[in-house]
Amino acid sequence: MDIVLASASPRRQELLKRITEDFTINASDFDESSIEYHGDIDRYVCELATGKANDILHKVQKESIIIGCDTIVYLNGKILGKPSNREAAVKMLKELSGKVHQVYSGIAMINSKTNKIITKSVCTEVKFSELSDDMIFKYVESGQSDGKAGAYGIQDGGALFVEGIKGCYYNVVGFSLNTVFLLLREMGVNL
């Protein structure tokens, strides 16, 4: 059975290679704005991930397990997605400075033959140190905040902001290896 990753994220591709080299990439162009947030963050990230996997379901030719993912940063009841520009990135990092926030990822897998869908959300708490304006501006100007939920990547220079985490490190990167591995096994894929 084929495994299809419905993501163009190089980080997710690199992490999936730690589980298996035998997968293809078919990036979803699902419109994330079509899913409204109604206060249940776990459900929200799973709906986003399912939307991405469903987008690819109709494009696969062979029997496949399609993996859809979405990751967001959550701070005091507010979702911090990908910054729209550098000003937004600076604002997000200032909001996160010195605080504990949560990183939620939704993972959805669909079996194209049976249409079986399983979803799981994963949450990791992240504590940021107090960030100086200089640290924030230097990071944002480096381009490392571009395209990242919460305007940072724990796997790059954003690691310097992180005082501690509680939960799965790879979830903060955007792809909980343990969860993906266990869900693949639940789908009958023994790697």
- What is the predicted pLDDT for the residue at 55? 96
Burial class (CB in 10 A: 0-12, 13-18, 19+), 43: middle
SS3 136: helix
Distance CA 191, CA 172 (A): 24
Distance CA 169, CA 50 (A): 22
Q: Which residue has the tokens 């009958």?
A: 188
- Phi and psi, residue 2, nearest 5°: -75, 150
Q: Which amino acid is at 133?
A: D
Domain 2-186 carries which CATH code?
3.90.950.10
- What is the predicted pLDDT for the residue at 61? 87
Residue closest to 162 by CA, chosen among 139, 121, 131, 141: 131
Distance CA 132, CA 12 (A): 30
Catalytic: which of 42, 70, 134, 146? 70
42 is catalytic: no
Tell how far CA 134 is from the center of its chain: 27
- What is the predicted pLDDT for the residue at 137? 97
Distance CA 57, CA 115 (A): 9
Distance CA 127, CA 51 (A): 30
pTM, to two decimals = 0.93
Averaged over successive runs of 10 residues, the pLDDT of the chain (191 residues) comes to 94 95 95 93 97 95 95 95 95 98 98 96 98 97 94 96 98 96 94 81
Indicate the domain borders of the chain. 2-186
